[in-house]
């Protein structure tokens, strides 16, 4: 794992260490959220100079109380962390031998399967990769995160998931509100929230082709206009992450469109 990247504690996706929330499941990343909160406080302090003197005094008093609470929490966490470090080191030493077989199993699993994944990738057989991944979740030592093309395959798997939600919503017997929200949020994430620099050039070109297919659904069966899709994106864009509550507000309308 790169120094500025971590795994989401909730869904396991790779995210930026500074992220306040996981962009995939919306779970809170404690350290990123704390950093963002303190950054906001600093911004408020800088803006105080633009206020009248009496309001500056009132805000400074409020900020002082907030900072005191934040510092107390950080100090308490530091003390707890210091006490925990010794325990963790001892536990790590004791667990090292026990963990060795798992590490070995993971390395052996990668050696056995990554070659096949590379072959399918070279052939452009992404469906085979996704099918393989979904059939191997119960393997001992299983982990495909270390495979270099996993970020791209995660996007492709999300694309297939989006198509599944469209099929579900196209049948009145299986359509439901939750799937409608999932379909909309997945479409927005695949259309607007992906960053070109995260992928190899040929992978980004493939992603753009997938986005064309998604646009055909968004502006077809989902009956969005380009202006409406952009407006929804701007509404749910929470600092680079999806605001699922805001997206959910559109769910009833999307569901009604499919029911017509």
For residue 193 the two structure tokens come to 């929230």
For residue 11 the two structure tokens come to 């869904």
What average pLDDT does this structure show over 17-36?
A: 65
For residue 153 the two structure tokens come to 């395959």
> Is 56 a residue whose pLDDT tops 60?
no
pLDDT of residue 2: 42
For residue 196 the two structure tokens come to 């070109």
> Is 3 a residue whose pLDDT tops 50?
no
Span 206-257, pLDDT tens digits: 999 999 999 998 888 888 888 888 888 888 888 878 888 888 887 777 777 7
181 or 54: which leads in pLDDT: 181
> Is 49 a residue whose pLDDT tops 90?
no
When mean pLDDT is compared across 93-107, 112-126, 215-229, the lowest value belongs to 93-107
What average pLDDT does this structure show over 53-67?
A: 54
Q: Is the pTM of this model over 0.75?
A: no
Q: Is 205 exposed, middle or buried (0-12, 13-18, 19+ CB in 10 A)?
A: exposed
Is there a contact between 217 and 166 (Cβ–Cβ < 8 Å)? yes
* Helix 177-192 vs helix 251-259: crossing angle, to nearest 10: 110
206 or 193: which leads in pLDDT: 206
Q: Is 142 left (phi over 0), alpha (psi -120 to 50) or beta?
A: beta
Please report where in the chains the tokens 């998931």 appear, as a residue.
161
């Amino acid at each position: 794992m790169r120094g500025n990247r971590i795994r989401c504690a909730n869904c396991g996706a790779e995210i930026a260490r500074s992220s306040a929330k996981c962009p995939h499941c919306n779970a809170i990343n404690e350290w990123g959220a704390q950093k963002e909160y303190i950054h906001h406080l600093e911004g408020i302090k800088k803006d105080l100079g633009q206020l009248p003197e009496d309001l500056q005094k009132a805000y400074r008093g409020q900020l002082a109380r907030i900072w005191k609470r934040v510092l107390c929490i950080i100090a308490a966490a530091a003390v707890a962390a210091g006490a925990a470090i010794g325990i963790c080191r001892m536990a790590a030493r004791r667990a090292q031998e026990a963990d060795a077989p798992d590490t070995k199993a993971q390395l052996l699993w990668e050696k056995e399967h990554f070659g096949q994944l590379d072959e399918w990738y070279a052939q452009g057989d992404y469906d085979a990769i996704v099918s393989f991944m979904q059939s191997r979740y119960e393997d001992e030592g299983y982990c495909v995160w270390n495979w270099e093309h996993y970020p791209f395959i995660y996007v492709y798997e999300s694309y297939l998931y989006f198509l599944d939600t469209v099929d579900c919503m196209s049948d009145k017997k299986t359509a439901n509100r939750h799937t409608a929200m999932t379909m909309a949020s997945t479409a927005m994430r695949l259309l607007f929230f992906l960053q070109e620099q995260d992928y190899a050039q040929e992978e980004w070109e493939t992603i753009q082709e997938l986005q064309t297919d998604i646009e055909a659904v968004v502006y077809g069966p989902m009956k969005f206009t380009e202006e409406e899709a952009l407006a929804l994106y701007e509404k749910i864009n929470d600092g680079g992450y999806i605001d699922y509550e805001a997206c959910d507000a559109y769910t009833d309308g999307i569901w009604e469109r499919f029911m017509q």
